[in-house]
Amino acid sequence: MAPAPPTLRSAQIKHLAKLLDGPTGGELGRDLVELRLPMGTESTKWRMLRESFQLAQRRDGHGGSVLRFVKQALDPAHELATGTLSELRTSVNEILLLSGLELLDDGRLVARQASRTADDARARADALRAKLTGRIGRVRIGTERMGDVELTLGGEMMRERYLADALAGHIGDYDLVLVDCPPNLGLLTVNAFCAAPEVLVVVSMTDRNAYKGAMALLATVEKLRRKSVDVAVTGVMRNNVDRHRSTYRLLNEALVEARLPLLRTEVPLRADFQNAVTAGVPLVRFSPDHVGAQAIRDIAGELTISPTRAKAA
């Protein structure tokens, strides 16, 4: 007799529901009926789906019904229409690997050694994606201890070169290295400027002080260039855009008058960016067809990376 499917943890069910709430309400209801899952009563789609998953698992004593829904949602046939399932499948596998399961690109669900931590599951899911695409991406997340690092750097010689020296010899295998900096011009940010030849400036178009911050950043970059640091501003990205707001119009006029290298694509102000953060996945995975996700892809297309300048802050 085949072993029963695993029981999924509450957090796994929650994240799966947030990832798989793409269909319209009517389509989602039909899928639940077809797969004989109880219909949730919550008003929002992902909460309704989470409730359905919880009720099904409680009824069955295991997560088999939830896994059937996952398989149907990521059926390879859907890829013919959307072409967006590989990123979603990677995110789903990060969750499933915690229960010792992997969803293959042909739609089969197979047993694997269970990951013990979220970091291990994420790394393994990225490795699986790399096998399909021939590329690999890795994310290293900072902690509150980064503040201690900045204090320590204050007493170091050549402290602005610390990050560049630490990265030397470790980034040759990557096409692109992105360093996400804190929204200030402290030592950590200056370290990134000294390590990266290109800088992408993100300006929040809802913040009246954003223009001053952008100009201060540009002045810092120019000061470093005068000290023979190989760094330049590649582009300025307008974020949190709502063209109906007066703040946007004032900021945009100031940025244009300053002749800054503005990217054509603007990132709209949308609640789903925060929803994706809550789910713990990028918006391009959380909701691939969202207008914000498309904006991110368009910006990636604008930023042409040359072979000799393939690192950015």
| pLDDT tens-place string over residues 233-282 | 999 999 999 999 999 999 999 999 998 899 999 999 999 898 888 777 78
Identify the top-confidence range among 138-142, 167-171, 203-207.
203-207
* pLDDT score recorded for residue 142: 62
Which one, of 52, 58, 43, lies nearest residue 70 by Cα?
52
DSSP 241: B
Chain centre distance of CA 44: 23
Residue environment code for 36-55, b if the CB has 16+ CB neighbours within 10 A, otherwise e: ebbebeeeebbbbbbbbbbb
The arithmetic mean of pLDDT across residues 126-142, rounded, is: 59
Domain locations in the chain?
A: 10-133, 160-312
In this prediction, residue 312 carries a pLDDT of 55
Nearest to 33 by CA among 4, 56, 62: 56
Q: Which amino acid is at 253?
A: E
55: DSSP letter: H
Q: Give the mean pLDDT of 22-37.
A: 79
* CA proximity to 184, closest of 213, 158, 157, 206: 213
pLDDT at position 131 is: 58
Task: Concatenate the DSSP letters of all residues of 158-217 into one string.
Answer: TGGGHHHHHHTTTSTT-S-EE-PPPSS-SHHHHHHHHH-SEEEEEEETT-TTHHHHHHHH
pLDDT value at 80 more than 60 = no
Chain CA centroid to CA 293, Å: 10
CB 237 within 8 Å of CB 299 = yes
Domain 160-312 fold is Rossmann fold (3.40.50)
CB atoms within 10 A of CB 119: 12
- Give the per-residue pLDDT at 169: 82
Mean pLDDT computed over every residue of the chain:
83
Averaged over 52-72, what is the pLDDT? 94
Task: State if pTM tops 0.85.
Answer: no
With a cut of 60, say whether residue 114 has pLDDT above it. Answer: yes
Token pair, residue 264, equals: 């054509």
Instruction: Work out the average pLDDT over 8-28.
Output: 83
Say if CB 160 and CB 187 are below 8 A apart: yes
Instruction: Give the lowest-confidence range in 25-29, 133-137, 224-228.
Output: 133-137
Residue predicted with more confidence, 175 or 209: 209
What number is the average pLDDT over the span 148-153?
A: 71
